[in-house]
Amino acid sequence: MAGGDVWTKQLDQIFYPQSVAIVGLPRGLKTGKVFLMALLDQSFSGAIYPVHPTAEEIDGLKAYPSISAIPDAVDLAIILVPHEHALPVIYECVEKGVKGAVLFTAGYKETGTEAGRHLEAELARVAKESGMRLFGPNCMGLYVPESGLSFFPGLSKKPGPVGFISHSGSLANILGRIAADKGIYFSKAVSLGNECDVTGTDILNYLAKDPKTAVIGGYLESIGDGPGFLNALKAASLKKPVILWKVGLNPEGQKAANSHTGAMASRRRIWQAVVSQSGAVPVKGFDWLTDALMSFSLLPDGLGDRIAILSGPGGMAVGAAEACGDEGLKLAELSADTRTKLSEFVPQTGTSLANPVDVGLGASFDIDIYIKAARALADDPGVDAVVSIGAGLSRELNETYTNSIIRVYRDTGCPFLMVNIPGFEKEFAAAFCQAGIPFYETAERALGSYAQVRKYQLWRYSRTFRHCHSEER
């Protein structure tokens, strides 16, 4: 078996454990309790072993004084003990035959001290020599809804196509908490922390091959093995989109990243070259990251550049048209048939039947105007996608608007990009995403994210075509 296959099998066993020990689990409601709460919240079906020096049971589960005292095999250990006690626990895990360990404990190289660096190096040495894989230190660990693993309670139990790599556990947690409302569901999410053993490159290689992952996202503070990471990124990007938010590209961000996970310096121009060579999708900021994960999850293959804009607010329609041009997209030429259909119900004053189609303020009272216009635009063979900026003036009208646009989308198959108007109910925004229609805060973000997906699709198609063509020669 090739080394990569061995590594994949090893990670599979860690991502789908039959048993989990939580070492240093507190009896009361303290920080470490979230790991037990998370497993229970996900209805983890395997055995859970609390490890505590004196407790006989915690929250109804029998507790053990040490890893070695557990009578059965342990696949995954989550270690919460203070950093000065962590190394003996790691040795004990190795002796027990634990396949993987998550070290939540901080206090290593991110402290900037020689003692911290030495302790972390020792952790890495033990892990590499033993073959037990170590996540962290200073990390939250694993979220795999399919197996019931989670690093925080309240995350979706529904698995999905997004694999995520993060140097920040809290960011991964926050993303996990809002993701379902945006139609984003995870295959695996990994909080790496200081990555003394398991690295972002390792997980990228795994996710690239993982048949349950169709989209890869990441928040990166550093890259330890530049050439190895670039090779992994190139290979992964040819198979599936890799969306990366890289921080630490200026002195301010670098200083913060160094104290967070001990991240090393990265030069902006080098990162730009990595993106350019690899086909990765760069994003800047949490909002753009979530927009991209949502767009790549929900939008179909084969996106075109002919956009129809449907709006009640005139200024927002003009802004959307401007964004089309900025993102290299076109305003679709509407057919004569579509214009005729629109003229039958769009009021004549204060509106426009050209693209953008401005249905005016009256559409917020008569929501059927929005719905009929959306269907007319989606039916137009010259339209590749519809941007809809609209809302009714009551909750009932917004519910009708939401259900009707979803019906149009399902009937026509035309991609829709929904844009928020302040006051629109969050539950209906989530309903759009659950139905496969991305919902954005602004038209600029909608069109920017759509253009990113289309650009990646074209890049990947060109690379695949070039590869096939070269093989035919």
> Which tens digit of pLDDT belongs to each residue from 416-436?
999 999 999 999 999 999 999
Q: Using the predicted structure, report yes or no on whether residue 3 has a pLDDT greater than 60.
A: no
Q: What are phi and psi of 71, to 5 degrees?
A: -75, -20
Q: Name the residue with tokens 């379902």.
A: 180
For 89, what's the count of Cα atoms within 13 Å in the CB-facing half-sphere? 28
**DSSP state at residue 303:** -
**What is the rounded distance in angstroms from the CA atom of residue 337 to the CA atom of residue 345?**
14
Instruction: Of 15, 6, 279, give the one whose Cα is nearest residue 164.
Output: 15
Residue type, 419: V
Q: Using the predicted structure, report yes or no on whether residue 270 has a pLDDT greater than 90.
A: no
DSSP string, 175-197: HHHHHGGGT--EEEEEE-TT-SS
Whole-prediction pTM: 0.92
Both tokens of 204, joined, read 């990228």
Confidence of residue 265 (pLDDT cuts 50, 70, 90): low
- Interval 321-369: pLDDT, tens: 999 999 999 999 999 999 999 999 988 877 778 899 999 888 999 999 9
Residue type, 160: G
Q: Using the predicted structure, report yes or no on whether residue 2 has a pLDDT greater than 60.
A: no
Q: Using the predicted structure, report yes or no on whether residue 18 has a pLDDT greater than 50.
A: yes
Both tokens of 444, joined, read 């600029």
Among 3-17, 280-294, 322-336, whose mean pLDDT is lowest?
A: 3-17
